[in-house]
Structure 1
């Protein structure tokens, strides 16, 4: 089982994001505080478990968490402030919406902008080490997948239901054929150089 806590504070939150490497759709962040007695052997980094298990665990996390919040940061903001800052903004907004507010925060990754009055620690691959970070990764991933499934209905030609906005070969072929749409991150490299696209 993953570790319960990094610190000795009563209210320690974990925060993570999903969708940084995509070329369409939002980056989605989540923050969660789990109770001290929370235990689960199945919770892990969302990328390491099946979609079916992620949704099963999401129900459990939402039922047992002391508090949680999920935040989408959309394409227009990503374009304005870049994907790193958008990811951090999403995590900050999620943390600030928690009630109770955490006394300490662990962040999956190696970069974060401090939130006043909340100590934090960045942990590389933390979603494979700490329960709250794995839980946040599951929430972020499933809520983002839900969003991509929804906008797939509007633009089915890109098959976001399957690729979730990641730059798969199929996704890039569709962009070559149909061009980008309003959900694409126009400043990202939508196509490899040899498949140049007029934007």
Structure 2
């Protein structure tokens, strides 16, 4: 199967903040509604990868939409609330650490994106997906957008939803298991996290044993 050719901008072509240009192009082609999808959590040592899909209302786009990595936690929470209040449809899905280990993080991320699109309450006619790959099995036409969360407001909205939802999941995991500090580092490979892993080993069902430093070591606890 031939990989869809991504829409790859140069550094100087990126807008200062994402806009609605790509969505309006799709709308002019008769592909309305347009959904954006993105994931959060590809890099951590623990927790699920979470994806979201968002269909924005062209007449009521929330202020402050941007790549979730360029917003602090407070700003993400504020924009997240606005997205839920004003979007036509919002959905999210996750793929667990166990499933990540059974496949790989790329496939798991794409599957989470597919699931998030499939569970939207409004079916899109076009999906703009962050990255180099269109998630396999979409219910409609898809387009891969490199650095999409910095170009498309729909993808930026999805990136914010995915990040906020995943952070809340990891905060809950931290409250249930006090050994690792998940609520602080969200599963990323910080010094505190690595020190806790050295002391306690990996947590069952939470740590990704296919990632270094585990390499399929036996979980404990």
Shorter-chain TM-score tier = over 0.9
Distance in 2 between residues matched to 1:94 and 1:179, nearest whole Å: 32
Q: Which position in structure 1 is the counterpart of 2:3?
A: none
Map of 1:127-166 to 2, 5 A cutoff? 127-166=149-188
Contact 2:62-2:86 at 8 Å conserved across structures: no
Map of 1:93-172 to 2, 5 A cutoff? 93-115=115-137, 117-172=139-194
Match of 1:53 among 75, 82, 90: 75
Contact 2:45-2:208 at 8 Å conserved across structures: yes
Contact 2:65-2:79 at 8 Å conserved across structures: yes
CA 1:116–1:60: 2 relative to 1, 3 Å: closer
Q: Which position in structure 1 is the counterpart of 2:6?
A: none
Match of 1:22 among 40, 44, 61: 44
CA RMSD between the two structures: 1.7
* SS across alignment from 2:110: helix
Q: Which position in structure 2 is the counterpart of 1:72?
A: 94
**TM-score if structure 2 supplies the norm length?**
0.83
Distance in 1 between residues matched to 2:148 and 2:46, nearest whole Å: 25
Question: C-alpha deviations, 1:81-121, integer Å up to 9, x for none?
Answer: 11111111110011011121110010001123333551111
Distance in 2 between residues matched to 1:197 and 1:95, nearest whole Å: 31
Q: Which position in structure 2 is the counterpart of 1:85?
A: 107
CA 1:121–1:186: 2 relative to 1, 3 Å: same
* SS across alignment from 1:189: coil
Contact 2:37-2:158 at 8 Å conserved across structures: yes
Contact 1:167-1:190 at 8 Å conserved across structures: no
Distance in 2 between residues matched to 1:76 and 1:197, nearest whole Å: 11
Contact 1:114-1:120 at 8 Å conserved across structures: no
4+ residue runs of structure 1 moved beyond 6 angstroms?
none
Contact 1:58-1:139 at 8 Å conserved across structures: yes
CA 1:116–1:197: 2 relative to 1, 3 Å: closer
Is there any run of 5+ residues in structure 2 with no aligned partner, and where? 1-16
Q: Which position in structure 2 is the counterpart of 1:2?
A: 18
Is there any run of 5+ residues in structure 1 with no aligned partner, and where? none
